[in-house]
Amino acid sequence: MQQAPGILQVLQGKFGSKILSSDMSVLDPTITVEGDSIAEICSFLKSNEALAFDTLMCLSAVDYKGLKGETDRIELVYHLFSMKHRHQIVLKVLLPREEPSIPSVEQIWDIANWHEREAYDMFGVTFNGHTDLRRILCPDDWVGYPLRKDYVQPETYRGMPVAPGKQFVEMAQDGLQVGTDPFREG
Amino acid sequence: MQVEAYVGEEMVLNMGPQHPSTHGVLRLELETDGEIVKKVIPHIGYLHRCFEKHAENVDYPGVVPYTDRMDYVASMNNSFGYALAVEKLMKIEVNERVKTLRVIMAELNRIASHLLAVATYGMDIGTFTPFLHCFIEREKVLDLFEWTCGARLLYNYNWVGGVSHDIPDGFVEKAKQFLREFEPVLKELNELLSYNKIFINRTAAVGILAVDVALSYNVTGPNLRGSGVKWDLRKDEPYSGYEKYDFDVAVGDGRFGPLGSCWDRYFVRVWEMAESLKILHQALDHLPEGDVQEKIPKKVRPQKGECYGRSEAPRGELGYYIVSDGTGNPYRIKVKSPCFTVLSALPAMAKGALIADIIAILGSIDIVLGEIDR
């Protein structure tokens, strides 16, 4: 079992400048890497005998916007775990909020297929090389990326009001009687 | 929908979203010739209730009722995982009574959840009697929960820094009575269902999940243990006092067919109920005294930071990735749901299966759509 500094050392030895920074003092030691080389780094992490990260525990996207002292960005966080050696590491990639894109790691861990679809659905991150990049939780023709901090809910979807509660409040203020059906004509 | 040109009798059929055997609102797109299914494509999102967006708009204690509603069959374990993750982030240590109570509730809910999984699996295969026997026992567990915290299915029980209600007087005796009555029911279930020749013929040769496929798809929990991997977070990365209890890890052994079949996964769940009984006996015997809520500030405000906390839910490894920006509301909560990962492995498990086998495989992986869609 390797501790996080040892894993960092191996990565720095192999990839040098593609390893941007690291933080070993937090609860889950994190290594920030360059976005374009994520696929080769993850492939190395899985195939290397001493590291053997055979499981992608979680792939999350986080939208940082408007926080004091932080640059606006979308972070992709990869939680990796090795069932063989029982050690774990966190990889982070920083992406710009406009048109974020990154190579897909679907070929390395099959579960990345669905996790990346969810990151695309909720944040709009494009994964190059993904075989089936389409929405997973929202309907296929939904507009907008819901978990972004500046997401504005559309008023209607295919002609149906998305938040009918709000419209009822407005209609009540306009004098709608309780118990009538507001969507029937006449 | 990817549709190539279909020649002859091949067709694309929809199983769901309304179907008695898909365990929720799940749409399976089957490319089939009427008997053999060439491809299965699961479509989810019919129960998406935006848990992660809601969590950003309420404070940390307010997220707990939302966590209950993800895997609504095993709510105690959901809020347990969330409380553990927040306490890991805030470096709060809870006292022994809280730890033991959480284990008792989590294991009782594990029994209730596995009873439901086993019973509905029997119903999918075609038998109705085990369903009724299992649900009688499940009602007793839900009665215990209702006595403690007022709710049968969605408890809001595990709070940050403690639990919401202490157990009432007489709970330990009542719970022990349930355990005494439940042991013969497990034996009955084995005779009725587990070793039933028809059940074995239906399930022991289908849905084989190889270990490397399982790890690549991040399958965890009873589904992974059914393939022979002895990995249980309660033993390997213990939390909340699980290291004190003496119990075995249920692992599939492929005794009626290839290792990793539907029968192995099903039997791991039955065996796990017996192991939960052992844990419950030990926990109920050694319940320490104490206060059920730690002295934490009224406004839960973790420091800026993030953490990933995982726990062993009945369906697998439930992970919470919590990002805090120093305010009272979480900045981001991402839930890694075990059913999400195992459902993504369904196309790999169901290659070349008959349509009836698809039902058998889907029942054996025990999904709850509330957790997949969140």
B1 in a domain, yes or no? no
| B104 three-class SS | helix
In a domain, B175, yes or no: yes
Decide if pLDDT at B118 tops 80. yes
Query: Dihedrals φ, ψ of A94, to 5°?
Result: -100, 125
Bridge partners (DSSP) listed for residue B40? B30
Residue B103 lies in a domain: yes
Which of B216, B305, B319 lies nearest to residue A26, judging by beta carbons? B305
Q: Decide if pLDDT at B95 tops 60.
A: yes
Does the residue B2 lie in any domain?
no
Residue A184: per-residue pLDDT: 63
Q: Give contacts of B 273-312 with A, CB under 8 A.
A: 305-308, 310
Return d(Cα A124, Cα A26) in angstroms, integer.
28
pLDDT at A176 over 70: no
Q: What is the pLDDT of residue B1?
A: 52
Kindly state the helix (H) or strand (E) to which residue B351 belongs, with its residue range.
none
Q: How far apart are CA B306 and CA B322, in angstroms?
A: 5
When mean pLDDT is compared across A148-162, B112-126, B224-238, the lowest value belongs to A148-162
Closest CA relative to residue B155, chosen from B281, B71, B242, B244:
B71
Q: Which domain covers residue B179, as residue numbers?
A: 11-373
| H-helix or E-strand spanning residue B109 | helix B96-125
Average pLDDT over residues B120-148: 92
Residues in B closer than 8 angstroms to A135, CB to CB, are: 45
Percentage of chain A beyond pLDDT 70 is: 94
Mean pLDDT value across residues B266-279? 93
Least trusted range by pLDDT, from A18-22, B87-91, B117-121, B319-323: A18-22
A107-143 pLDDT tens trace? 999 999 999 999 999 999 999 999 989 999 999 899 9
Contact B321 A58 (CB under 8 A): yes
Percentage of chain B lying above the pLDDT 90 cut? 69
- Asked whether the predicted pLDDT for residue B269 surpasses 80, the reply is yes
Q: What proportion of chain A, given as a percentage, has pLDDT over 90?
A: 41
Among residues B11, B12, B40, the alpha carbon closest in space to that of B28 is found at B40
User: Token digits for A53?
Assistant: 């990260």
Q: Hunting for tokens 């895997």 — which residue is that?
A: B71
Tell whether the model's pLDDT for residue B64 goes beyond 60.
yes
Q: Cα dihedral sign for A113, A48, B253, B220?
A: negative
Report the distance separating Cα B312 and Cα B240, nearest Å: 11
Window 333-372 of B, Cβ < 8 Å to A: 334, 336, 340-341, 344-345, 348
How much is the average pLDDT of B233-244? Answer: 91
Name the pairing type of β-strands B27-32 and B332-336.
unpaired
pLDDT at B265: 93
Q: Which residues of B touch A139 (CB under 8 A)?
A: 45
Question: pTM score, two decimals?
Answer: 0.91
Q: Where are the alpha helices (DSSP H) in chain A?
A: 4-15, 38-47, 112-123, 164-173
Confidence of residue B3 (pLDDT cuts 50, 70, 90): low
Provide the pLDDT for residue B8: 61
User: Are β-strands A126-128 and A156-157 bridged in parallel, bridged antiparallel, or unpaired?
Assistant: unpaired
- Give residue B300's pLDDT band: very low, low, confident or very high (50, 70, 90): confident
Chain A residues within 8 A of B331 when measuring between CB atoms: 62, 67
Specify if B158 maps to a domain: yes
B18: nearest Cα among B9, B10, B27: B27
CATH number at residue B51: 1.10.645.10
Q: What is the mean pLDDT of residues B77-91?
A: 93
- DSSP letters, B154-205, are ----EETTEESSPPPTTHHHHHHHHHHHHHHHHHHHIIIIIT-HHHHHHHTT
A111 vs A116: CA distance, rounded Å:
9
Query: Cα separations (Å) of B5 from B1, B15, B41, B353?
Result: 13, 21, 17, 22
d(CA B145, CA B77): 13
Superfamily of domain A4-173: NADH:ubiquinone oxidoreductase Nqo5 subunit (3.30.460.80)
Structure tokens given for A79: 């939680």
Domain count, chain B: 1
- Answer whether residue B298 is part of any domain: yes
What are the pLDDT digits (tens) for B325-357? 988 899 999 999 999 999 999 999 888 889 889
pLDDT above 70: residue B153: yes
B47 touches chain A (CB under 8 A): no
Q: Coil, strand or helix: which one is B247?
A: coil
Any domain includes B242: yes
Q: What would the pLDDT profile of A10-34 be if each residue is shown by its tens digit?
A: 888 888 888 888 888 888 899 999 8
Q: Please tell me the distance from the alpha carbon of residue A67 to that of residue A58, in angstroms, as a whole number.
A: 24
Q: A64 to chain B: nearest residue by CA?
A: B331
Residue B135, domain member (yes or no): yes
Angle between helices A4-15 and A38-47 (to 10 degrees): 120
